[in-house]
Structure 1
């Protein structure tokens, strides 16, 4: 027994044993160092008095091992040491049996993860820019030039698939610019039909159109002194492209029904998931407007082309939703992690965050398991050609999608990564 005690005191992991009443019967030297409690203080105490964790009364690893007869392995939790400092640890627990194999208590081993967590924060800090994280060389290059682009007043075009974080880039450009004290105003060019979109951007005087009963300020006026972010500019109707071009050329605009033009002291940032050069070629986007907004072009790569970012983003998402929902989930099971690391993420970063948020909401343990992720039946089928996502399909492709979704336009728009209003406009333009 003395020889065994010497061995247990020499290991780096904390080890303690409990009887069937959950009172501590053994406490090694590493357990003393991690918790701050001496062996004399711990022996005979209820383990929850010494091993003070948020899971003691809900998901106690020793109780689970005793109830199931199965080992609990590498569960990440936090404990409070003697000085009430929070210590991240990894816990494993097993049933303790006598010579006849009868359970007489439990044994728990735990490892201090403080240095690992500190290193993780250092790594995250190294690869974090504003609210974005990435290890990808192309993303790091974008982070590197973003401050130089931000301090200019040049119009910026952000190109990337839906969900890649174009709005985060727009916000970073604003926050790093001399206009940071002014407003950042966002308008989605595909969210409204043309008459309402015109009033939304340029504003309208009372009586300018049916239902206009009072003066309405447009997003241009609201963005005065700041930045106007034109999201999904590829969905802007041709008639409004002409009006926007005029603003970009002479910094003047005229609200609907107004007699005099107004000056626009605004910095423009535009974004699209569509191929504007192809749209220029087929006549659906004005060439002169394309050149006006394409002063600085930043292309954001999709998540499938930067898989090294997935672990970083999973950590960021888990931390965000733990705080949002008041949970203390420590990580992912091997099965859940395998799914998340190998998922194709056609919806990019937005889809990854949605998956983690769902998992955090559904998870009742301290580790996210595969049961908290979509089942195979729930997962969207990758039936849309990659080349079609974010681009305007042909009439035949649209009809095929409508047949597959039984006429459900919302489902078709979701699969194409576009707004339903944009789909409606495409269908209208393609009709004979």
Structure 2
């Protein structure tokens, strides 16, 4: 948030080498430059100036020779202001740190020693993308807050938008991706979106749930078998890996793959060849692997239940998916969509959600995530006596958690937006009714709607 007389975009430079920090300041005449040398200074500057773009040296004190403090700074920046484009610095031979930073939400990275012109292009592109995304968010808010299209996902929260941006960013790179999230968070939809955004989109997208297939059959499902390989093998059958050649194989619940089969899967990832059961011929297969699990794979590696070498092959990029309770606004948005879908499918006259149902949905913790929400809505649509689903139909209750705000101005805006949207929902879009609920005049509400670019 720059001063009133300075309309230039704000660039925050987090660099403990003050000489280099000064050099970077001189290189960027088109931006308002703010400098910081420590994590504390960086967060203070973030709150005060709300920069669109941050360049971050991962080697910050008290760990200037490591990356722990840099990664902690990155996490705190993105927790407070998820739309920030953070560009991290990596030294020679530090590609792994750069990839880990991208997986943690960084937008891009640059190598040291710094090429000012190259970094300038990265920074300029980051500002351009940030401006485009801000405009998209403004239009989405004006049109009701919906963002969808990526793998069929429906969302409005910045938390889910951050996940989608990360997946979109890694989609073109031919690396293995591991999606970590609780059951029902949309891992398969994200995997499908990743496939559709990749150069492999014209190939097949093949999904298999490793937990749903008995161990004795899983090897055959993945690798296929030759005719006569076992009783009942009346013909040669390609496995899922072959079926996904030229495309993407999604291995859901990868943590349930037994150790002996992990060895065979590792060989495929290392050599890109497979052997069918009962076969002796090595078959080259070009298939990208995207996997997912709700389990703590790192703990499984430590316990010896999951091979460490396979984990590192599968987890070149790790994307963590938030639960529905961590996605403000998404539960209500999804609930409306599910009401429309299931009422139409079952030819019922339910048209929407009553105000008390919306309040109950906002307050519930959703331990089963989107899947639980859809099941609750489907049941409620069947049980509803009138045209609106009520809280009694849902049989829910709970207390909403307060989110951490970037600063006081942002906290006020979040509170205003939430109150206005809730009032409009409870008044079924009627401005007079919403203004009475909010305790303000109609002209005041109209001014607030215009200020926040919301539509009544």
Task: State the TM bucket, normalised to the shorter chain.
Answer: 0.5 to 0.7
Q: What is the root-mean-square deviation of aligned Cα atoms in Å?
A: 2.4
The CA distance in 2 between the partners of 1:317 and 1:168, in whole Å, is 16
User: Which residue in 2 is equivalent to 1:295?
Assistant: 316
User: Which residue in 1 is equivalent to 2:59?
Assistant: none
CA positional deviation for 1:119: 8.2
Q: Secondary structure at the match of 2:194?
A: helix
User: Which residue in 2 is equivalent to 1:239?
Assistant: 260
Contiguous gaps of at least 5 residues in structure 1? 1-117, 380-432
The CA distance in 1 between the partners of 2:228 and 2:265, in whole Å, is 22
1:149 matched to 2:162? The reply is no
Give a deviation string over 1:4-38, Cα, whole Å, max 9, x none.
xxxxxxxxxxxxxxxxxxxxxxxxxxxxxxxxxxx
CA positional deviation for 1:305: 2.1
* TM-score normalized by the length of structure 2: 0.53
1:316 matched to 2:343? The reply is no
CA gap 1:121/1:366 in 2 versus in 1, 3 angstroms: farther
The CA distance in 2 between the partners of 1:188 and 1:291, in whole Å, is 21
Q: Secondary structure at the match of 1:123?
A: coil
Matches within 5 A, 1:3-402: 122-126=143-147, 129-374=150-395
Is the CA contact 1:204–1:217 (under 8 Å) kept in the aligned structure 2? yes
Contiguous gaps of at least 5 residues in structure 2? 1-138, 399-456
Q: Which has the higher helix share?
A: 2
CA gap 1:123/1:337 in 2 versus in 1, 3 angstroms: closer
Question: 169-178 vs 357-366, which deviates more?
Answer: 357-366
CA positional deviation for 1:217: 1.9
Is the CA contact 1:157–1:298 (under 8 Å) kept in the aligned structure 2? yes
Give a deviation string over 1:151-197, Cα, whole Å, max 9, x none.
12111000000011100100100111111121111111111222200
Whose Rg is larger? 1
The CA distance in 2 between the partners of 1:335 and 1:362, in whole Å, is 16
The CA distance in 2 between the partners of 1:136 and 1:367, in whole Å, is 25
Give a deviation string over 1:261-302, Cα, whole Å, max 9, x none.
111111110000001111000000000000001111110011
Q: Which has the higher strand share?
A: 1
* TM-score normalized by the length of structure 1: 0.56
